[in-house]
Amino acid sequence: MSNNVPAELRYTKSHEWVRKNPDGTATIGITDHAQHALGDLVFAETPESGRTLAAGEACAVVESVKAASDVYAPLAGTVLEGNGGLADAPEKINTDPYGEGWLWKLKPAAIEDLEALLDASGYQRLLAESAE
């Protein structure tokens, strides 16, 4: 299975990714590995803007034909925007998980929390271990 794990992102054990944007906000999505495991996505529900999230809170749902899965907030903060484009095209999560398939943008409560997440090599190790 091909696993694209971009070096510049941070990751969680539950297969979310976080991108730190230049303006201090963060963008969140699910990893290439996760979209692959779920299969063809048919629906995505993202958190509404303004919602306050605690780290680890289930706040989005992605659904394929064979599974519906919660997506957990990697960081605490306030939701700036959910990806409205997914309503008509959830397949963007399959085709471009790190780009157009993003789930929500967040104003983190403390951006330094990012440092506690896995880096690309740590996430790759996690994938290698779970494949054994």
Using CB under 8 A, list all residues that contact another protein: 40, 42-43, 45, 48, 63-68, 70, 90-91
CB burial of residue 130 (10 Å; 0-12, 13-18, 19+): exposed
Please list, residue by residue across 44-83, b when 16 or more beta carbons sit within 10 angstroms of its beta carbon and e when fewer do.
Answer: bbbbeeebebebeeebbebebeeeebebbbbbbbebebbb
Least distance between another protein and beta carbon 130 (Å): 15
Output the CA–CA distances (angstroms, integers) from residue 124 to 13, 14, 99, in the order listed.
11, 13, 19
In angstroms, give the least distance from the CB of 110 to another protein.
Answer: 26
Q: Is the Cβ of residue 58 or residue 128 nearer to another protein in the bound state?
A: 58
User: Smallest distance, Å, CB 106 to another protein?
Assistant: 19
Q: Which is nearer to another protein, 65 or 128 (CB)?
A: 65
CB of residue 49 to another protein, shortest distance in Å: 13
Minimum CB distance to another protein smaller for 26 or for 73: 73
